[in-house]
Amino acid sequence: MKPDPAAVMKNGAPVRMSGLLQEGDVLRITVRDESSSENIIPAPVPFDIVFEDSDLLVISKPSGVAIHPAVSHPANTLANGIALYFKEQGIPYVFRCINRLDRDTTGLLIAAKNKVSASILERDLRLREIHRTYLAIAEGLLPEKGTVNAPVGRKSSSLIERCIDWENGDTAVTHFRRLRYFPLCTLPDTGEEEIPLSGFRPAAAPAQGKADLPMLSLAELHLETGRTHQIRVHMAHIGHPLLGDTLYNPEGLP
């Protein structure tokens, strides 16, 4: 495709990219319209919009919904729902999610509406000007705070699972802070396990003799990097896997 000579204008006239600017010049850049992503079929997948303007969309992602189509879930993803939302507004939809969340994770998702905003947001994420904070429940009594600095890579025997790979993994850094701890209680009449809402305790360690009880920790986690399954891999690596994570802790608490 030939470049559009009118894509970059200086003072109302086309200008070469090597041209020099002087004080008072008016530069106008036109971004070419795009066609929608053909592999993402618009579908009615509900989601809540937290913020929207002409450049980006901030979505509250529900648990149990994947972000984009894959072999295991080719449809009914958040991307399909966003595609329908854009189609109804007459806006071409190109998949540009700036951050990613696992299927069972809830949280805010940023979607760029055009090339320019995508470039700026991706740069901000790369320079760590966009901060990502998560809350999670981990098994055991987590230290009050700490940092996990361990490279994460794809596990050779799995298409999905990741692992700590000191030789070939990508740099991954996770900071954590314990907010609360509480015991995992068993109801005597049903035998079902539950987390009692009244059982939350301050972040300080339990009294001597109480640490032998099955404990859970509410943790706040900050990511310096955004590797696939980073929090889940790192927490399992330090012996405090996330509650209910059957992939990285199949023998853990239900």
Q: What is the CATH number of the domain that holds 116?
A: 3.30.2350.10
- Choice among 102, 124, 189, 212 that is catalytic: 102
Contacts made by residues 181-186, CB under 8 angstroms, sequence distance 24+: 181/141, 181/142, 181/205, 181/206, 181/215, 181/216, 181/217, 181/218, 182/215, 182/216, 182/218, 183/210, 183/213, 183/214, 183/215, 183/216, 184/213, 184/214, 184/215, 184/216, 184/253
Domain annotation covers residue 202: yes
Do 139 and 228 lie in a common domain? yes
Q: pLDDT over 70 for what percent of the chain?
A: 83
Q: Output the pLDDT for position 168.
A: 94
Domain annotation covers residue 190: yes
Q: Kindly give, in sequence order, each residue whose CB lies less than 8 Å from that of residue 127, ignoring residues fewer than 6 positions away.
A: none
102 is catalytic: yes
Do 79 and 160 lie in a common domain? no
Do 147 and 72 lie in a common domain? no
Domain annotation covers residue 121: yes
Do 91 and 57 lie in a common domain? yes
Do 70 and 159 lie in a common domain? no
Check pLDDT > 90 for residue 19.
no
pLDDT single digits (tens) 99-138: 989 888 999 999 999 888 999 999 999 898 999 999 999 9
17 vs 240, higher pLDDT? 240
Do 144 and 107 lie in a common domain? no
Q: Domain boundary at 130, 147, 170, which? A: 130
Q: Output the pLDDT for position 197.
A: 42
Do 103 and 140 lie in a common domain? no
Do 150 and 196 lie in a common domain? yes
Do 144 and 102 lie in a common domain? no
Domain range for residue 160?
133-237
Q: Domain boundary at 130, 153, 175, which? A: 130
pTM of the predicted protein model: 0.73
Domain annotation covers residue 32: no
Domain annotation covers residue 250: no
Provide the number of structural domains found in the chain: 2
